Amino acid sequence: MRNTPSRNRPTAKEAMPSFDFLIIGAGAAGLRAALGLAPLGRVAVLSKGEATDSASDWAQGGIAAVTDFVRDSIAAHVADTLAAGGGLCHPERVEAIVAAGPAVIEELAGWGVPFDREHGSWQLTREGGHGTRRVLHVADHTGAAITRTLLAQVYRENQIRIFPHTMALDLIRDDERCLGAWVLDAQGRIKAFTARAVVLASGGAGQVYQHSSSPRGANGDGLAMAWRAGAALANLEFIQFHPTTLYDPGQPAFLLSEALRGEGARLRLPGGEAFLEKYDERAELAPRDVVARAMAMEMRQRGIQHLCLDIHEQDCERIRRHFPGIYAHCQKRGYDLCREAVPVVPAAHYTCGGIVTDPSGQTTLPGLYAAGEAAWTGLHGANRLASNSLLECLVTARAIATHLAGLATLPAAASVVPAKPDILPALPADVAHERGRALQHLMWTQVGILRRQAELQRAMEQLTQWLEEDALAATGIAVEITHNAFRNRLQCAWLMTRGALARHESRGCHYDADHPNPHQPPEDLIQCLGSAQPERRPIGAADADASVARTLPSAASGTTR
């Protein structure tokens, strides 16, 4: 899809889409935000693909929330979240989000999410890092069940309009606030969507890596757009690697849910030996960072390409009933979970850092909000607790709507068509594809599960060279789809690697063999456009307030100037 400036420049005769609220992303966070904002005005929801194409839709395991107050408690869920986060969670944020969990479940169930039940109660599973069973699920397709239910509610709202196959290219801002976004619509036209408030709910950046459980569109679009617009980002070096994806060279990674290990699956060496106990007494139920790192170390030491996940000793009917999608997919790939161990490898799964937000979802750029995986909320710290992501999506999206509803007034949407920024010369599609594969390989081998300073430095040099060679750090928007995806991935990779180089310690998902111990006190690393190095902030000082936003630089692209 190629576009020229002359053909696509908005004119006075071409209606500029103007809404009260613009939401970029149609996953759980975006849809829940839309439902909360619909009573306040007209809402536009942009989806790069179909409305069902989101990382939320791929979530297998479930949603963590306290519903059994006899065997569980809010305090216990908070404690497990803090322990998994490696000392980098913000306790007050954790407490607020976890405390909202029961109400979220009640809301979802009221809307019709068919959570599995057993003997009249919610059927709860246990996953890595959780001290008890507290994860609600819909077989092994919980995310899809939740997003389909939210979509059904959205389609009932006359105030909400979903724009499928519509891609946000860059944010529009003036000297004071975010005004909207430059968008490539389904017909290949560039349009300015303006709104009184913009919500980035565009997911993470898993596709920066060669092996990833994320959808193909998880390019870090929102992260890169927010950075170019001058918003602060935090802790992007913490990329969570899910321990178990099916090893099948040449095929896309397929996630094997954490819940399998919660139901008794064991990780084994190819010869059948269990090994996790020597790394952590919780073995298969240790947090993801511990398990993925142990797997990577064993594979590196032994020179092997995969390990094995074994659940065949468990009841076969229970496996088929609880994990129908996983069982069917493994059979399609030639494996029977009921009869044999299956080969597995870790894969990039979740971006624990993100766009800095305060408890109401506000970023450091006025008028811009963020929710879900795109946002840094302080919940996950250095490593996300399993199944806390859907909880965070829904709680933070609700918080944005509550905040905006409580404002006495909202700024009016821009009424004048902004001057379109320059369009970057298109990077040929074959070059973008080739560079994209090289980028993913570089990040997997040099900025992966096990890191070293020398490898990080080499990666940084190559990433910087690519940015400079292709003018991908320049002002302007990239309108060719492959070019845009590569640019966003590259900028996210550069920010991730810069953060990893600056964090001279090992903590959570970030393991630096040259600095194997954590530093005290824990610090967030804040990155803003134009900053020479990440800024270190003690825990509690990274909220989206005036201290972080004291010097908002001009946007790199998408301005009204």
Catalytic center residues: 288
Nearest CA to 359 out of 99, 543, 527, 203 is that of: 543
In a 10 Å sphere around its CB, with 0-12 CB exposed, 13-18 middle and 19+ buried, how is residue 133 labelled?
Answer: middle
Residue 163 pairs with which residues in a beta bridge? 46
Tokens coding 214: 């994320």
The answer to whether 65 and 104 have CB atoms below 8 angstroms apart is yes
Parallel, antiparallel, or unpaired: how do β-strands 121-122 and 117-118 relate? antiparallel
Q: Which two tokens stand for residue 350?
A: 């979740």
C-alpha to C-alpha distance for 10 and 16, rounded to whole angstroms: 8
Lookup: tokens for 304: 């092997």
Q: Which residue has the tokens 């322990």?
A: 83
Task: Report the 10 Å Cβ neighbour count for 554.
Answer: 14
- CA dist 377 to 29, 520, 523, Å? 13, 21, 15
Q: What are phi and psi of 118, to 5 degrees?
A: -150, 120
Alpha-helical regions (H) of 68-141: 74-84, 91-99, 101-111
Residue 68 half-sphere exposure toward CB, CA atoms < 13 A: 17
CA atoms of 185 and 165, how far apart (whole Å): 7
Tokens 């393991």: give the residue: 511
Q: What are phi and psi of 324, to 5 degrees?
A: -65, -40
